[in-house]
Amino acid sequence: MLMKLPALDIRFSSRLPSHGLLDSDISHCEVTEQALAALHHRIQSGEVGFARLPDDRETPRQIAAHARRMKAENFLLVGIGGSSLGAQALFTALRPWYHNWLGKQRKGARFFVLDNVDSDLVDATLRMLKPRETVVNVVSKSGGTAETAANFMIVRRWLMTSLGKKFADHIVATTDPEKGELLNLARQEGYATFTVPPDVGGRFSVLTPVGLLPAHYCGVSILKLLDGAREMARIGLNEKLPNNLPLLSALIIYRYLRRGRTTQVFMPYSSCLQSFADWYRQLWAESLGKKFDRHGQTVHAGQTLLGSIGTIDQHSQVQLLREGPDDKVVFFLQVGKSRRETKIPKDLKQYPSSSYLGGHTLAELMNAECRATQYALASDDRPSLAMSIPEINEYTIGALIMFFELQTAFLGEMLGVNAYDQPGVEEGKLNTFALMGRPGYEERRSALKRFEK
């Protein structure tokens, strides 16, 4: 099956080896009808807001106005999980390699992230930056995540030490509009603030100021990003199969999952999509990895997602994918052309194992390797999906973000789980509070101490 949507030019195909899926498995059915209806219902009832974010024209205007007022050479994001992965994905995909090292020709601020509470990372980052040239964006929807709080306390003191009373002019807090300690602190100390809509969870928040503010500062056209996302939302919420690509891909993966394919290998053929794979992995894992379904039955749902980068992981993972446990489905993402073509010179004539490459572009080699790997897997009866985009730009990345968010939401409905909570993560957060001595967590702390004995 090969589909092409002219407005978007995203192609999608599913390779179905003999033990794969039949056409009847992936055509319109009760499963897709229910998933679509359920998502529409959640959107209309105000429970789920991510698919409507591209319609918000006001937030990009506010972001642009803010960036005009608060200019910066460096943009330092302090946040973790859904509060940092999306911004990192946008930066890595849409800014040139070595953006931070570019001199005068650099468009936008340099970008730095403090996500982990790793002393080496934090120390090295702060040594590199000058406070007066830096905007610090602390991002936490709950306003109470330990890693973000710790890193922000260090960064806040760093700003204060150097800038005195003016430190607050360098801080933007992105958090819940109504509650949380970060919001209270921002009000008390006078930080600029942006909000995460209450109906948009952390891992679905990249198209809110969580991702859009850093992206805008670093030179990404957030309006084009939202255009691509809006077009994919239109497709995902209105089109029928087979043109509804997010729904179709969710159905294919659902069928494979039901046949025991408990791992998905996401393999984009572009190094620029490495962080995008990290973002997708979190979206998939936290949304679908659930012990209980919506009726309270124990299901242990979910699918392990491994991020792999073509061609690099052909030399690392493909051996396992072809000959190891037959429990995976591979999702290839191919990119038509690079921003700049690099030609391989017609040299080394006397060395035939190299010279045949001369005259081709690197993109041609990359794409040939992607197709070759798909074929190699199919010839071993290992199933894969393949999607291709014409190039990496704001529009296609916006479309991909919405594609994967919708796909995740649809699969959540098919599996009958709540894709929008994360009780497993919350538990770990509460245990950390207890171990680090947060008041009110004494009982939990005693239980943990007993466990560790």
Sign for the CA dihedral angle at 103, 106, 109, 112 comes to negative
* Residues in 346-405 that interact with ligand PA5 by CB under 6 A: none
Nearest distance from residue 146's CB to ligand PA5, in Å?
9
Assess 264 for contact with ligand PA5 (CB under 6 A): no
Question: Whole-angstrom Cα distance, residue 266 to residue 425?
Answer: 23
Q: How many residues does the chain have?
A: 453
**CB closer to ligand PA5 out of 314 and 408:** 408
Nearest distance from residue 178's CB to ligand PA5, in Å?
14
- Name the β-bridge partners of 345: none
Which residues does 33 contact at the CB level (< 8 Å), separation at least 6? none
Q: Which of 20, 49, 54, 82 lies at the binding interface for ligand PA5 (CB under 6 A)?
A: 82
Nearest distance from residue 56's CB to ligand PA5, in Å?
19
Question: Whole-angstrom Cα distance, residue 208 to residue 263?
Answer: 30
Question: Whole-angstrom Cα distance, residue 376 to residue 130?
Answer: 51
**CB closer to ligand PA5 out of 380 and 427:** 427
Instruction: Output phi, psi for 152, to 5 deg.
Output: -70, -40
Instruction: Output phi, psi for 391, to 5 deg.
Output: -165, 170
**CB closer to ligand PA5 out of 142 and 418:** 142
Nearest distance from residue 303's CB to ligand PA5, in Å?
17
Of 2-10, 79-87, 353-361, 406-414, the window that binds ligand PA5 (rule: CB under 6 A) is 79-87
- Show the DSSP H helices in 178-262 as ranges: 181-189, 209-217, 222-238, 245-258
Assess 286 for contact with ligand PA5 (CB under 6 A): yes
The residue at minimum Cβ distance from ligand PA5 is 202
Which residues are catalytically annotated? 286, 315, 429
Nearest distance from residue 201's CB to ligand PA5, in Å?
5
Of 17-25, 38-46, 74-82, 229-237, the window that binds ligand PA5 (rule: CB under 6 A) is 74-82
Q: Which helix (H) or strand (E) holds 376?
A: helix 362-379
Nearest distance from residue 83's CB to ligand PA5, in Å?
4
Question: Whole-angstrom Cα distance, residue 222 to residue 90?
Answer: 10
Assess 145 for contact with ligand PA5 (CB under 6 A): yes
* 169-183 exposure pattern, b = at least 16 Cβ within 10 A, e = fewer: ebbbbbbbeeebebb
**CB closer to ligand PA5 out of 317 and 408:** 408
Per-residue x/- marks for ligand PA5, 179-218, CB under 6 A? ----------------------xxx---------------
As a whole number of angstroms, the longest Cα–Cα distance in the chain is 75
Question: Whole-angstrom Cα distance, residue 53 to residue 227?
Answer: 11
- Name the β-bridge partners of 333: 268, 387
Q: Which of 95, 141, 290, 328 lies at the binding interface for ligand PA5 (CB under 6 A)?
A: 141
DSSP state of 351: -
Q: Which of 80, 109, 113, 138 lies at the binding interface for ligand PA5 (CB under 6 A)?
A: 80
**CB closer to ligand PA5 out of 318 and 415:** 415
Question: Whole-angstrom Cα distance, residue 340 to residue 334?
Answer: 16
- Name the β-bridge partners of 140: 175
Nearest distance from residue 446's CB to ligand PA5, in Å?
25
Q: Which of 134, 140, 244, 373 lies at the binding interface for ligand PA5 (CB under 6 A)?
A: 140
* 138-153 exposure pattern, b = at least 16 Cβ within 10 A, e = fewer: bbbbbbebbbbbebbe
**CB closer to ligand PA5 out of 208 and 249:** 208
Assess 408 for contact with ligand PA5 (CB under 6 A): no
Size of the site for ligand PA5 (CB under 6 A): 15
Assess 74 for contact with ligand PA5 (CB under 6 A): no
Question: Whole-angstrom Cα distance, residue 160 to residue 166?
Answer: 8
Nearest distance from residue 418's CB to ligand PA5, in Å?
12
Q: In the sheet where 110-114 sits, what is the strand order?
A: 110-114, 74-78, 134-140, 171-175, 192-195
Nearest distance from residue 286's CB to ligand PA5, in Å?
5
For residue 441 the two structure tokens come to 């967590």
User: For the chain, what is the radius of gyration of the CA atoms?
Assistant: 23
**CB closer to ligand PA5 out of 142 and 338:** 142
Q: Which of 62, 142, 193, 418 lies at the binding interface for ligand PA5 (CB under 6 A)?
A: 142
Cα angle value 418/27/244 (rounded, 5°): 65
Q: Tell me the angle at which helices 222-238 and 58-69 cross, rounded to the nearest 10 degrees.
A: 160
Of 51-59, 135-143, 249-257, 300-308, the window that binds ligand PA5 (rule: CB under 6 A) is 135-143
Residues that bind ligand PA5 (CB under 6 A): 80-83, 140-142, 145, 148, 201-203, 286, 422, 425
